[in-house]
Structure 1
Amino acid sequence: MSRISVFSAPFLLGFEGLEERADRLAKSADGYPPYNIERSITEDGTERFLISIAVAGFEPSELEVLAEDGQILVRGKQKDEPGREFLHRGIAARQFQRSFLLAEGMIVKDATLGHGLLVVAIERPNAPKIARRIEIRSV
């Protein structure tokens, strides 16, 4: 049985890659670590997004933020210290990977770590809408 997708509509051209990435994101979403996404608009019309990810206990060297192929990939991997003995371990040294899809024109500005939160700042500059007339040739 074939799957019907909104991206298979005949007037949506070139969105196959977006559909594949959205499927990949849906399969990998397990809820850890929790995150917030905030949106604001600056005075010049630039849209600004802040992704705050709860990463308490992680050092900067144990985190990685990659911006590639229209997405942000955040990875975290803590090292177990073999000499430590826990009587109770409620805070797991758990690795994670979180992905966020980016629309065209989005720019990842920076990432900061403080107070147990990794904050990734993204901007979409206010781009003017451009329309152009396409000349019709005879063949």
Structure 2
Amino acid sequence: MRSAFDFAPFRRSTIGFDRLFDLLENSATGQGGENYPPFDLLKLDDNRYRISLAVAGFRRDEIEITAQQNQLIVTGKKVDDDKADYIHRGIANRSFERRFGLADHIRVTDADLSDGMLSIELVREIPEAMKPRKIQIGGSTPATETIESQAERADA
């Protein structure tokens, strides 16, 4: 299924954004029908995030969290209890897989399971080489330093 927006003009005039355009074009089909388990996405500050998933009934050993190239995969595999003789079973006992697309430089720092809620902490760590730099105009050898290091020097 194609998206309602045509990204062809942007593809012709940009370099290195193929992955972004592919994500945008495939977003309409990527998450259709996937609604278990429910989750919240929280932005804690400019560089910290939290994903909270409602995984009531799952134990730590039944949940697997995998971070791979620009993707976070949370999998729950419920073992069926054949010994139980249920009269009614209303609590979901199904396995699941939830996928979250991660931007560049997003790293998972922690995960915790408490009271049926799985919380996954994420942080954006921008490499030093990608931080804004102020370029000094000078003699034959240009001096460069990050804007943050200039602020630290001014505070000292």
* TM bucket normalised to smaller: 0.7 to 0.9
Of the structure 1 ranges 12-21 and 61-70, higher mean CA displacement relative to structure 2 is found in 12-21
- Contact 1:25-1:99 within 8 A present in 2 as well: no
* 1:17 alignment partner, SS class: helix
- Compare relative contact order (CA 8 Å, sep 6+) and give the higher one, 1 or 2: 1
What code does the residue aligned with 1:63 have?
Answer: I
Q: Secondary structure at the match of 1:52?
A: strand
Task: Measure, in 1, the Cα distance between the counterparts of 2:14 and 2:111.
Answer: 34
- Largest Rg, 1 or 2: 2
**Aligned with 1:37 (options 37, 41, 45):** 41
The answer (yes or no) to whether the contact 1:52–1:118 under 8 Å persists in 2 is yes
More divergent stretch after superposition (16-25 vs 82-91): 16-25
Check the 8 A contact 1:7/1:19 in 2, yes or no.
no
Return closer, same or farther for 1:87/1:111 CA change in 2, 3 Å cut-off.
same
- 2:11 is aligned with 1:15: no
% identical aligned pairs: 31
Q: Deviations over 1:33-84 (max 9, x none)?
A: 100011122xxxx611000000000011110100001110101110001111
Q: Which residue of 2 aligns with 1:83?
A: 83
Question: Kindly tell me: are residues 122 and 96 of structure 1, through their superposed partners in 2, closer, same or farther at Cα, counting changes over 3 Å?
Answer: same
Within 2, Cα distance between the matches of 1:6 and 1:85? 55
Name the structure 2 match of 1:119: 119
TM-align CA RMSD: 2.6
Residues 13 and 51 (structure 1 numbering): CA distance in 2 closer, same or farther, change over 3 Å? same
Superposition TM-score, scaled by structure 2 size: 0.69
Gaps of 5+ in 1: 133-139
Work out which of the residue numbers 25, 30, 34 in structure 2 matches 1:27.
Answer: 30
Structure 1 counterpart of 2:141: none
Contact 1:38/1:50 (<8 A) preserved: yes
Name the stretch that deviates more: 5-14 or 28-37.
5-14
Higher percent of residues as helix: 2
Give the structure-1-normalised TM-score: 0.77
Residues 116, 12 of structure 1: CA spacing in aligned structure 2 closer, same or farther, 3 A cutoff? farther
Report the residue type matching 2:47 in the other structure. Answer: E
2:105/2:126 contact within 8 Å kept = no
In the alignment of these two chains, the number of paired residues is 127
